[in-house]
Amino acid sequence: MEDVAIIGVGQTNFSRSCGVSIRELCFDAYKEAMEGLDITNQDIDASITCSAPEYDKQRTPSGLISEYLELTPKPAFYVETVCSSSTTGLRIAWSLIKSGLHKVVAVIGFQKMSELTSREAAERMGRGADIIWEAPFGITMPAGYALYAQAHMTKYGTTEEQLAKIRVKNASYGAKNAKATYRKELSLNDVLTSDIVSNPLKRFDCCANADGASCIIVASEDVARKVTKIPIWIIGLGAATATMTMSGRKLLTGLTCSQEAAKQAYQMAGVGPEDIDVAEVHDCFTIAELLAYEDLGFAKPGEGVRLIEEKETYHDGKIPVNVDGGLLSKGHPIGATGGSQVRTVVRQLRGEATEAQVKDAEVGLVHNIGGVGQYGNVVILRR
């Protein structure tokens, strides 16, 4: 069976309010992904649209996006695993190509969250938890991750200052990212004195809602070698699902879906944590990045703080993480987030990440989480 490669990646600017329709957002990401490729719309024989429902009035957006991008009558699919939707779309695209059903698939993630107030958006995010037994009692995204932060602090002595250092790092890179929502460096004091959202998480410990779109063009080996100079190969895929209810989870100092997805991806790729040159992890909150350090095997449980304390996750450190600013700086347009993470790693492996290029990066990892640790996807890529 042929290998599968990413041949194109694109992303819009992420912003608090984009001022355009979802079809225009998706077109802009698709346009960038197609740049430099020796193919046309007619060569794309399937598309997968990825988003979280209820943020936009449009039902079944896959048909709308397919028409606007002039991809009809090729099949269009719709995929949703909340915040991890577009890496779930990538997994399905890989499967469609491996099966022989398709040769080239476009994975298009988007979200336009500005049509809702922050309160409305938080309520809809809360529906990602069990709507009978947990969501009505306050398990919003910040509250859910605050529980993980409290558990990690209780067991390992993690401090608020150590979490704040993660935001300081990501803000330093976000300031260099032209597509990020927040392009401003922050001091440790800025983070520690920001308003409390859900104890111990403060405003700058949290990512923000955003509008945006991303696109990944995936192709079979025979096509990839013909249409692009630097195909980026998908060598490892892992996916897992935890219980919807947090009360049903046995571990609150790590995400079991991350751990299982990472195990699968490493095994499939034939590599380990020590082989990863650059990583994009799902830092919807500072505690989420810290948990990822440990869940992905970059550090032992309870020792992830050493990586940020010793600046090993900066672009010139042992394991560079989120050197595009992460969700904390870029913003989090739910369906577009995973595709944006993939774009960053692809650009790093191609040597195109001028803002914070990791030297000689050959193997990259993407870690994308849906909900409060409900869905976990890990993708490993090689130049």
Whether 183 and 323 share a structural domain: yes
* Cβ contact 345:380 at 8 Å: no
- Using an 8 Å Cβ cutoff, are 81 and 257 in contact? no
Active site residue 282: no
Same domain, yes or no, for 223 and 309?
no
Which helix or strand (DSSP H or E) is residue 31 part of? helix 22-34
Question: Quick one: tokens of 272?
Answer: 């380990």
State the amino acid at position 140 in one-letter form.
T
Rg (CA), the chain: 19
Give the C-alpha separation, 117 to 119, whole Å.
Answer: 5
User: Digits of tens for pLDDT over the chain (383 positions)?
Assistant: 569 999 999 999 999 999 999 999 999 999 999 999 999 999 999 999 999 887 877 889 999 999 999 999 999 999 999 999 999 999 999 999 999 999 999 999 999 998 888 788 777 777 777 888 887 887 888 999 999 999 999 999 999 999 999 999 999 999 999 999 999 999 999 999 999 999 999 999 999 999 999 999 999 999 999 999 999 999 999 999 999 888 889 999 999 999 999 999 999 999 999 999 999 999 999 999 999 999 999 999 999 999 999 999 999 999 999 999 999 999 999 999 999 999 999 999 999 998 799 999 999 999 999 999 999 999 999 99
Total number of domains in the chain: 2
Alpha-helix runs per DSSP H in 250-377: 256-269, 286-295, 304-309, 326-330, 334-350
d(CA 84, CA 210): 15
Domain containing 147 equals 138-204+234-382
The CATH number covering residue 27 comes to 3.40.47.10
Tokens of 249: 């989870």
Residues 162 and 303 in one domain: yes
> Is 46 part of a structural domain of the chain?
yes
- Whether residue 10 lies inside any domain: the answer is yes
Q: Looking at 102, 152, 282, 332, which residue is catalytic?
A: 332
* 156 and 105 fall within a common domain: no
Its pTM surpasses 0.85? yes
Are 239 and 228 part of one and the same domain?
A: no
Look at residue 56 in the predicted model and tell me its pLDDT. Answer: 78
Query: Would residue 207 show up in a list of annotated catalytic residues for this protein?
Result: no
In terms of phi and psi (left: phi > 0; alpha: psi -120 to 50; beta: otherwise), the region of 100 is: left
Locate 193 and state its tokens: 């004195």
Sheet holding 375-382, edge to edge: 76-79, 46-50, 104-111, 212-220, 4-11, 232-241, 375-382, 363-370, 278-280
Gap between the Cα atoms of 336 and 136, Å rounded: 27
The answer as to whether 332 is a domain residue is yes
Eight-class DSSP state of 20: S
First vs last Cα of the chain: how many Å apart? Answer: 19
| 176 and 287 fall within a common domain | yes
Domain check: are 371 and 347 in the same one?
Answer: yes
In DSSP terms, which residues pair with 40 in a beta bridge? none
Please state, in angstroms and rounded to a whole number, the distance separating the CA atoms of residues 173 and 69: 32
Asked if residue 187 and residue 321 are part of one domain, the reply reads yes
What is d(CA 248, CA 375) in angstroms, rounded to the nearest whole number?
A: 15
Instruction: Give the active site residue among 26, 50, 83, 215.
Output: 83
User: Are 227 and 239 in the same domain?
Assistant: no
Residue 124 lies in a domain: no
- Do 146 and 82 share a domain, yes or no? no
316 inside domain: yes
Q: What is the pLDDT of residue 132?
A: 86
Asked, for residue 298, whether it belongs to a domain, the answer is yes
Query: What is the 8-class DSSP label of residue 198?
Result: E
Backbone angles phi, psi at 67, to 5 degrees: -65, -45
DSSP 181: S
Question: Is residue 178 located within the same domain as residue 267?
Answer: yes
Token representation of residue 216? 């990944």
For residue 130, tell me if it sits in a domain.
no
User: What pLDDT is recorded for position 88?
Assistant: 98
Residue with tokens 């990020």: 180
- What's residue 1's pLDDT? 57
Does residue 163 lie in a domain region? yes
Q: Are residues 297 and 175 in the same domain?
A: yes
